[in-house]
Structure 1
Amino acid sequence: MFQRILVLIALGFFGFIGWVIYLANTGQKSVFFDLVAVIPYGDKLGHFCLFGLLTLFINLAFKFKTMNVAGRPIYLAVLIVSTFVILEELSQHFVESRTLDFVDLIADFAGIAVFSAISAWLCKKLYPTKV
């Protein structure tokens, strides 16, 4: 039952991010955009938190599942979120109301990295025999 809740949280958060992207792509206003605008570096902090938390939530939902990439175990969530982030950021080149921003991509990957480290710590606590 608890695992289903974690899956729903990950899906819900992914849906939230999709909604925010839709609002940005269509040039609509949002209270979230207003909040980000008044916080110094709010846009970059938003990228860091959104995609970092998504990584954490997917890791929890998938019970920290890994895949071997070049002989190293990589969280499946990192592969999923990284692919999504790259495609989403590159797609902004084709959307009139958006701008392709390499620094946003750096903030996204910084969030993925930090929350992956948090995931590794949580994995050791929750699944000590898995590590």
Structure 2
Amino acid sequence: MKYLYTLLVSLLIIIAVLIPGPHLPDVNIVGFDKVVHIGMFGAWAMAVYYDFSIRSTRYLWAMVAGLAFSLFTEIVQIFIEGRTFDWSDMVADAIGLILGLTIGAWMLRKLFRLKD
């Protein structure tokens, strides 16, 4: 199925942001939520990179789509008990997008080199 990884990761992110705050695990590590955001959007970016076979001209569009998705998830959280809109989460998401696209590009180059 085309775009399967992107759809699955997007669905997992949406499910994660819809969990009400009181039901989230209490992790007492400073900045842990930012690491989670970086991981979620890094995984999303790698899935997009793989599913859409991104070339350098599409890299910008993947970033724009990822930032729009990030903004959407932050807006949705306004309506969820115990959750809020947080600009620093969007910064973490952007870092995850950049890392995910970079790692995705590197991984695909390695894979295609191994197949040749």
Which residue is equivalent to 2:59? Answer: 74
Correspondent of 2:98 among 95, 107, 113: 113
Please show how residues 20-99 of structure 1 align to structure 2 within 5 Å.
20-24=16-20, 27=21, 29=23, 33-34=24-25, 37-65=27-55, 68=57, 73-93=58-78, 95=80, 97-99=82-84
Higher relative contact order (CA 8 A, sep 6+): 2
- Normalised by the length of structure 1, the TM-score is 0.68
- Report if aligned partners of 1:85, 1:105 keep a CA contact under 8 Å in 2: yes
- Normalised by the length of structure 2, the TM-score is 0.75
Which residue is equivalent to 1:7? Answer: 3
Distance (Å, rounded) in 2 between the aligned partners of 1:123 and 1:55: 13
Distance (Å, rounded) in 2 between the aligned partners of 1:119 and 1:112: 10
1:127 deviation in Å? 5.6
Q: % of aligned pairs identical?
A: 26
Correspondent of 1:124 among 87, 109, 115: 109
1:91 deviation in Å? 4.1
Residue type of the alignment partner of 1:7: Y
RMSD of aligned alpha carbons: 2.7
1:99 deviation in Å? 1.6
Which residue is equivalent to 2:88? Answer: 103
1:124 deviation in Å? 3.2
Q: Which runs of 5+ in 2 are unaligned?
A: none
1:7 deviation in Å? 2.8
- Report if aligned partners of 2:37, 2:89 keep a CA contact under 8 Å in 1: yes
Residue type of the alignment partner of 2:44: L
